[in-house]
Homo-oligomer: A and B are copies of this chain.
Amino acid sequence: MKVRIGVDVGGTNIVCGVVSPGGLLIQKIKQPTETARGSEYVLGKIAGIIRQAVELAGLTMEDVECVGVGTPGLVDPSSGVTVFAGNLGWHNVPVADILSRHLNLPVKVDNDVRMYVLGEAVRGAGRGYKHVLGITVGTGLAAAFVEDGRLFYGSRSMAGELGHICFNEIPYVCSCGLTGCLETVASATGLVRQALTRLQDGADSSLRGLLRADGSPSEGLTAAAIAEAYDAGDSLAIEIMNNTGVLLGKGLAYAITLFSPDCVVIGGGVAAAGERLLQPMKEQIRRSVLPQYDINTAIVTAELPDDAGVIGSSIYASSRLN
């Protein structure tokens, strides 16, 4: 049996892995993306890292079946083109074409959130469940649904935009132009946004020490700093975590009611906030879904946060061969 390659392209790092047919990560290399040098350079670099990882695994390129790549942003999986990825600076980059020219292998490309959720669904916390809803709460908020190891896409591959469902009670304008998007609250930037707004409103909090003299946020005002203040009993930090958990719970209650998963996997950087966020989230879900969903839906945290994207990309590529 041949191995598969999975690649997770982020704004900061490229992670490339050699994955067994059973979905086990055999070898992994992480290197800076160097987005400033442009897509052609980055894709050439990825080809080099792939060759290096295969060699380190004691294999040759003859042993490789296919390559799967997850990139941020809007991706057209059928053509393998990254249509728009803001944090890479990529517009209409034909990732599959360029990489397969470099490597002479079939290359499949899809959105990094879908690849992450696929990896968690098949080999991570969703293993053994037939219907898995996965979300990543990180810089942004997005969701994907996997049934029997197959991703749900919807029209134009735009299903699962959980970050852009709107709530009356959210006052923030989103980068998409809508007001009240869940992502403006339930994300790393959303936690900071809420802290800043409340501090500017005069809230009493230890987080005030993380503002500059002019009232703007210092680099220290992060989701992690809010979690730390929470642990120290800071009432603003507690209010923000609760509010965020409740709103995320409402959004997930909608997604559970519409998709009926038997497992929900919570991943992404903000999942590190753990029970601070997950407890109010779970309580809200319980209050907002039919008891049949509440009893039958497992809510779990991601098991492979660092590797899910790489493993998912490799599984995806293999499933798309024919």
Contact = CB atoms under 8 A, between A and B. Distances in A.
A90 interface: no
A68 B87 CA distance: 51
Contacts of A131: 154-155
A147 B159 CA distance: 12
A165 B290 CA distance: 9
Contacts of A162: 257-258
Most central of A255, A288, A291, A297 by chain B CB within 10 Å: A288
A184 to B, nearest CB: 14
Nearest to A163: B257
Q: How many copies does the complex hold?
A: 2
Interface in A161-210: 161-162, 164-166, 168-169, 176-178
A165 B169 CA distance: 16
B143 A258 contact: yes
Contact of A158 (B154, B160, B292): B292
A155 B290 contact: no
A143 B291 CA distance: 19
A272 B157 CA distance: 33
Given A130-B155, A158-B293, 13 more contacts: A147-B154, A152-B152, A155-B261, A155-B262, A155-B296, A156-B292, A159-B260, A161-B257, A162-B257, A164-B290, A178-B289, A254-B254, A258-B259
Contacts of A177: 291
Q: Which 6 pairs from chain A and chain B are nearest by CB? A: A154-B260, A155-B262, A158-B260, A159-B260, A131-B155, A155-B260
A287 B263 CA distance: 31
Contacts of A166: 250, 253, 288
B296 A154 contact: no
A186 B158 CA distance: 27
A257 B162 CA distance: 7
Contacts of A262: 155-156
Contacts of A161: 257-258, 260, 290
19 contacts: A130-B155, A131-B155, A147-B154, A155-B260, A155-B296, A156-B296, A158-B292, A159-B258, A160-B258, A161-B260, A161-B290, A164-B257, A164-B289, A165-B253, A166-B253, A178-B288, A254-B254, A254-B258, A255-B258
A248 to B, nearest CB: 14
A156 B291 contact: no
